[in-house]
Structure 1
Amino acid sequence: MALCLANSLVARRGYVPYDQLVRYKWWYRDGYMSSTGQCFDIGSATRQSLQKFEDRQAKFAKKYKIPLDQLDFLSDPELLKKFDVNCSEQGVAGNGALMRLAPVPLFFYKHPTQAIEYSGLSGFITHGDDKAYDACRYYGALIVAAVNGEEKDALIHKRFYDKHKVWFGDKPLHEDIKHIAEGSYQKDGYDKGIRGKGYIVSALEAALWAFWSDKGSFEEGVLAAVNLGDDTDTTAAIYGQLAGACYGYQKLPEKWKEEVYAKKFIECLSKWIVHEGTHWSPKGLKTSEIASTTFNKSSWEDEKNSNELNVLKKNQNYQLPVSTKDLHTTSASAASRKNPNDDATCSRSRGRTVIEPSKPLKSDSYDAFETVPRKSFEHGDTKYARARKSFKILTI
């Protein structure tokens, strides 16, 4: 799903949630971007959201007389605004929203406000709980800060959120996520209740515990995450996003890098993310007109023992470049979302055989419609059919 998300950001040169859902659907139905050529181990929340997306597509095609062979390639911004991409509901807070996150903060790293809001929205389209939205926002902020050069001590500091609140606009974090941001994970692991569960709050805490305790070693952190048990692959994938952003590619164990499936393709896609993301700017503004945020790498060391950290040095005329409420017209305000009744609905149940035949869609219309050419796939549609010799760790 991370590869699907990365491909969407590159091919569409920005955040287009409809296109993201289309690619997730391709993965679910046809194995798009899968290392095995088929979908496997999909979470129940993700499956249900994608099925709801398909149902909405069918109704949308009928209402607007869209030919079915063009339905996955819509490009008219005004038409896309009419499609409700939020295919989940309150109470759905599985870790599947967080495990695929990294491409978003990596793409928008130059614009923290947008990076954080889009991080939250990227999870919200399939996991509709406040906690999922805010877990993705907070983790996206950590990745943005890491890519922009902030040291690990600053990332795990208990006041990281307080010192970066300008990035979060007028939407405070959910109390459960704020509790983690204030350092709830900084304790002895399993014996003190750290668990790599399918519930997104537990998964976030477990991944941050692994990062906090890894002694600067990516390998040690991955093994710590896996050894927590439960949803091991997802906990390790969440850990790997932040650890990779902080430590860099060169710190990844060579023996693991050699085992990554489609390594050259992933490296190429990563370069495309950097290229397109570097040239992206908020709609309607030129890069030169956007208020800058300067990341002061030395400030943390200068004030490590101070009660008042000065991680960011902002220019005097700093303003939020774009209101976060304008980033996605179909997103509900975080303040208006209700909390889930309990955590039972947040677990990520799994099934090994989940591929189902695509639903036949019916339409009587074949009117011309503006589409994205099929060549949009050229950044990553190759199917890898050869059998894999082994699998160890894949981090995106």
Structure 2
Amino acid sequence: MLRHVNRLQSAVYGIAIGDALGLPVQFMPRDSYPEVTEMIKSEKLPWPAGTWSDDTSLTLATVDSLLTCEGVDIPDMRARFMDWMDNGAYTQDGEAFDQGFTTVHALTHGCGCTNEQSNGNGSLMRILPLAFVKNLSDEQIAQVSGITHAHPLSVEACTVYVHAAQLVLDGFSLTEALETASLSSEIFSYLADISSRKRNEIRSTGYVKDSLEASFWCLLTTDNFRDALIRAVNLGDDTDTIGAITGGMAGLAYGMESVPDSWMNALRKKEIIERCLASQ
């Protein structure tokens, strides 16, 4: 069973909007492009403004599984991920794109990757919906991450992120939640003080540790949805995923009313999101 389902919408839309804002400038070096403040079309990518990528698609697959199965069902969730990869399920144009190597390798071979080199952000970007599962265990977080990313570092990043989201749902402020969740982890305890770092000290790569660090920095150095997302997608490099990770937590903390109308209106095919949210 899930809790606080009425707040799931803002978290999922936060992910989709952060993903779509960041996708057009993905992998571009920091400060090499005009500041992104609205949904734009990439000069290099073929998709229209407002298009989301694998970050959102796999989050929607996770949500669909959790709501349909009324909790964590690993075989069902893996099957939905396979449907995305093979058939373009949960995509806006019927075809998966921007798939991470680790994710594809793990789904193709039927087990999550455990080597040190497989610590991309591919499970962190989709893990947030687990915060809504009643009586969720850390073992379940590990199992869901481990569908694709089973190394302890990826699992720990997902655990910290989900714990922070649970605290927000329990009524903690965003700052309290992020700091408390960070301090509970030996690996990520330093994130409790991440707001003291300057922008040029923040890494924004697809390495899971960098992605969580960048997202927490954006959230802890802003006080609203819009500013957090603008900060995230203008860090450069893995902008869509850092936008998605930041956006999910910001959406959860600040609610649907905080989302700029221009961003919401530009997001393509919202009916796909609504269909997954209604899978009960």
Aligned counterpart for 2:73 among listed residues 16, 20, 31: 16
The CA distance in 2 between the partners of 1:105 and 1:115, in whole Å, is 10
Deviations, residues 64-101 of structure 1 (Å, cap 9, x unaligned): xxxxxxxxxxxxxxxxxxxxxx4321312111111111
Residues 1:212 and 2:234 aligned together: no
Aligned counterpart for 2:155 among listed residues 111, 116, 133: 133
Relative to structure 1, the CA distance from residue 117 to residue 246 in structure 2 (aligned partners, 3 Å threshold; closer, same or farther) is farther
Match of residue 112 from structure 2: 87
Residues 1:233 and 2:269 aligned together: no
Deviations, residues 8-48 of structure 1 (Å, cap 9, x unaligned): 11222221111111111111111011112101000010011
The CA distance in 2 between the partners of 1:50 and 1:208, in whole Å, is 29
The CA distance in 2 between the partners of 1:45 and 1:25, in whole Å, is 14
The correspondence of residues 187-202 of structure 1 with structure 2, limited to 5 A, is 187-191=196-200, 193-202=201-210
Q: In the comparison of the two structures, how many residue pairs are matched?
A: 222
Match of residue 127 from structure 2: 101
How far has the Cα of 1:242 moved from its partner?
Answer: 0.9
Aligned counterpart for 1:35 among listed residues 77, 88, 92: 92
Whether the aligned pair in 1 keeps the contact of 2:64 and 2:277 (CA below 8 Å) is no
Whether the aligned pair in 2 keeps the contact of 1:143 and 1:241 (CA below 8 Å) is no
How far has the Cα of 1:252 moved from its partner?
Answer: 1.0
Relative to structure 1, the CA distance from residue 179 to residue 188 in structure 2 (aligned partners, 3 Å threshold; closer, same or farther) is closer
Relative to structure 1, the CA distance from residue 189 to residue 235 in structure 2 (aligned partners, 3 Å threshold; closer, same or farther) is farther
The CA distance in 2 between the partners of 1:129 and 1:262, in whole Å, is 34
Task: For residue 245 of structure 1, give the secondary structure of its aligned residue in structure 2.
Answer: helix
The CA distance in 1 between the partners of 2:278 and 2:167, in whole Å, is 19
Relative to structure 1, the CA distance from residue 160 to residue 100 in structure 2 (aligned partners, 3 Å threshold; closer, same or farther) is closer
In angstroms, what is the RMSD of aligned CA positions? 1.9
Amino acid at match of 1:121: Q
The CA distance in 1 between the partners of 2:264 and 2:139, in whole Å, is 31
How far has the Cα of 1:271 moved from its partner?
Answer: 5.1
Match of residue 251 from structure 2: 244
Q: Which has the higher helix share?
A: 2
The CA distance in 2 between the partners of 1:121 and 1:189, in whole Å, is 35
Gaps of 5+ in 1: 54-85, 166-172, 277-396
Relative to structure 1, the CA distance from residue 264 to residue 30 in structure 2 (aligned partners, 3 Å threshold; closer, same or farther) is closer
Whether the aligned pair in 2 keeps the contact of 1:195 and 1:229 (CA below 8 Å) is no
Where relative contact order (Cα < 8 A, 6+ residues apart) is larger, the structure is 2
- Answer with 1 or 2: which has the greater Rg: 1
Match of residue 142 from structure 1: 164
Deviations, residues 149-171 of structure 1 (Å, cap 9, x unaligned): 211231243x4455xx6xxxxxx
How far has the Cα of 1:249 moved from its partner?
Answer: 1.2
How far has the Cα of 1:265 moved from its partner?
Answer: 4.0
The CA distance in 2 between the partners of 1:252 and 1:137, in whole Å, is 26
How far has the Cα of 1:118 moved from its partner?
Answer: 2.5
Amino acid at match of 1:210: C
Gaps of 5+ in 2: 1-57
